[in-house]
Structure 1
Amino acid sequence: MKELRISTDIREMDIALVHNYLSKQSYWAKGRNKEEVITSMENAICFAVFDGKRQIAFARLVTDYVVFAWLMDVFVIDEYKSKGVGRFLMDYIMNLPSIQEVNGMGLRTNDAHGFYSKYGFHKISEPETWMQKIR
């Protein structure tokens, strides 16, 4: 790996890579079309990890900067998994000055509970008080 860097500039991100990963490789966004990916990126804080000029990871965060933030669409491309890229990305996001005072942050995962628990995430307390509406 060359020197890793993170960008939040959507214009620099590889939209085709993000769309391909989300719509074809992820379990949570299968079938999401390119327009939906672009709209979701335009309405969130996006983070891309680059190895040189190549994008190798992505995440996005939606927040009001006071009450709540939601982390989603986090991925590292296969050849860079288990090389510290996910930790690099999460360390960056979790240390953003603008979200340090947010009351709560959420995410959903089927398979990375151990990874996210290192960043203070845990199962929802009092799940009986939470509601959701799914389209």
Structure 2
Amino acid sequence: MSYRLSFDHADQQLDVIHAYLAQTYWSPGIPRETVAKAIKGSLCIGVFAEDGAQVGFARVITDRATFAYLADVFIVDGHGGQGLAQKMVRALLDHSEMQGLRRWMLATSDAHGVYEKCGFTALANPDIMMEINRPDIYQG
């Protein structure tokens, strides 16, 4: 099967993206409106099957000058194991608006190998990083 990558916001299928993200470990129960707002404010990429179905998604939150945070990377069941996530990440890293950034970041609990192949490493100085983490924010 062949796949197509697209950065076009008009191609991104909100219902597919929301349905997937709402059941992930990182954004369980996320409201559809929140996903729509996140997509609108991000550089997004989707993977599409020959029949036009969206089978993957990733986005970058960025100022397009110094910093980028990679988020919401997924490939739907039945399309994994073909390097599609890695292709999306590489396409985002290579995007003309993402050149010259000082720092890229992401968080993952289960896909370190995918990101290591794209150049990501563990934090060199984790003691300088801080966070506010609200993992249950979308739970009633």
With normalisation by structure 2, the TM-score equals: 0.89
Could you tell me which residue of structure 2 aligns to residue 46 of structure 1?
44
RMSD: 1.2
Alignment of structure 1 residues 61-100 onto 2, 5 Å: 61-100=60-99
Could you tell me which residue of structure 2 aligns to residue 133 of structure 1?
132
Following TM superposition, the consecutive aligned residue runs of length 4 or more in structure 1 with deviations greater than 4 angstroms are none
**Unmatched runs of 5 consecutive residues or more in structure 1:** none
Alignment of structure 1 residues 20-39 onto 2, 5 Å: 20-24=19-23, 26-39=24-37
Q: Deviations over 1:41-86 (max 9, x none)?
A: 1110111111121111000101112221000000000100002212
> How far does residue 97 in structure 1 lie from its aligned partner after superposition?
2.1
Could you tell me which residue of structure 1 aligns to residue 17 of structure 2?
18
**How many residues align structurally?**
133
**Unmatched runs of 5 consecutive residues or more in structure 2:** 135-140
| Alpha carbons 2:86, 2:118 under 8 Å: kept | no
Q: Which structure exhibits the higher relative contact order, with contacts defined as CA atoms closer than 8 Å and separated by 6 or more residues?
A: 2
> How far does residue 134 in structure 1 lie from its aligned partner after superposition?
2.8
Q: CA–CA distance in 1 between the matches of 2:26 and 2:10?
A: 24
The structure that is helix-richer by fraction is 1
| Alpha carbons 2:86, 2:115 under 8 Å: kept | no
Most deviating of 85-94 and 26-35: 85-94
Identity of aligned residues (%): 32
Task: Give the residue type in structure 2 aligned to 1:44.
Answer: S
> How far does residue 110 in structure 1 lie from its aligned partner after superposition?
0.1
